[in-house]
Structure 1
Amino acid sequence: MEGNLLPSLDTIKAVIILDNDGERLIAKYYDDTYPSSREQKLFEKNLFKKTAKSDSEIALLEGLTVVYKNNVDLFFYVVGSSQENELMLMSVLNCIFDTMNIILRKNVEKRVLLRHLDSGFLVVDEVIDGGVIMAVDPTSVADRIIMRGEDIPLTEQTVAQVLQSAKDQIKWSLLK
């Protein structure tokens, strides 16, 4: 086999979420295909230009395979090599999107994502670690993120988190 066709676990090159103006909200690059921030921004600009008006779900850009979807005012992208399986990339994209849908309570839009940007990064980190796909089941990813939220010290939780935690504890005690 040729060197660039060897199998690898590092299948994801980047995950990018842009707003409807092509501005970056979340971007995680997992290799040195675009080593500088300037090169990443240029790639994102070209990516948005190519996909903003398209009805397709797959694009080939700069020798990379990109799967994407848009929702309200957000564009979600998962980037892999040109040899990468589009169905696998799409399952990662769907997992990220569906997990965001669960976490953001079906309000997957820029305003809500900006308020919960930390959760957005957590979703990406739970699904992909260093370019390796770790999960594709949105329910289990959402459960892990919600569980992680319960580990936050009481002094660092918002009032809503404290109230939700108290409600959950009451529910569990009633079920016992």
Structure 2
Amino acid sequence: MVHTGTIDGALFEPTLYIVKGMCILDNDGNRLLAKYYDKDVLPTAKEQKAFEKNLFNKTHRANAEIIMLDGLTCVYKNNVDLFFYVMGSSHENELILQSVLNALYESVSILLRRNVEKRMLLDNLDAVMLAFDEICDGGVILDADPTSIVGRAALRTEDVPLGEQTVVQALYNLMNNNY
């Protein structure tokens, strides 16, 4: 999916690097999970947290689905006690960003068995992190089909040899006597 755009007659070079960041915040605006892909945009954790706090303050009571903030186009969705955000540059097509947001939300919804709330997300954080990676890599959209995203994320969390598991996966399997 190569994207070109124009702003005030200036032509932008085509790029695959559409997504600048994705994050999930709780109902207090605290980060649960976030990935930023462009080092020129929000390069430090301090800047990211300040941006997320500002973003949450502008969106947690709004009924819209899109906001322009600090030169970024942000699409968002909330459910129970979670807020999902996808950010792109100011000239990015909102429909593309919305498709990424829908893929993220639906994938998380499937992974959490339609129980999309903070506690379930934290209990399944490893699978949600894998879904993030299956949707976008370095700002390039890899997949927007929730079923295939979940299929690959689920495959990577089950039946993985001990040496290849994350610490969270290994501890979970040890606690549940899977070894």
TM-score (norm 2): 0.84
Structure 2: which amino acid aligns with 1:13? K
1:24 aligned onto 2:31:
yes
Structure 1 portions without partners, runs of 5+: 163-176
Q: State the partner residue of 1:166.
A: none
Alpha-carbon offset, residue 119 of structure 1: 1.2
Alpha-carbon offset, residue 158 of structure 1: 5.6
Q: State the partner residue of 1:95.
A: 103
Alpha-carbon offset, residue 147 of structure 1: 1.4
CA–CA distance in structure 2, aligned partners of residues 71 and 87 of structure 1: 20
Alpha-carbon offset, residue 150 of structure 1: 2.7
Structure 2: which amino acid aligns with 1:6? E
Q: Which moved more, 1:123-132 or 1:143-152?
A: 143-152
Equivalenced residues, count? 162
When you count strand as a share of all residues, which structure comes out higher? 2
Deviations 1:137-176 (A, max 9, x none): 00001111111123323793367695xxxxxxxxxxxxxx
Structure 2 portions without partners, runs of 5+: 1-5, 164-169
1:47 aligned onto 2:37:
no
| Ranges of 4+ aligned residues in structure 1 off by more than 4 Å | 1-4, 158-162
Structure 2: which amino acid aligns with 1:47? L
CA–CA distance in structure 2, aligned partners of residues 3 and 11 of structure 1: 18
Q: Which moved more, 1:150-159 or 1:5-14?
A: 150-159
Aligned-residue Cα RMSD (Å) equals: 2.0
TM-score (norm 1): 0.85
When you count helix as a share of all residues, which structure comes out higher? 1
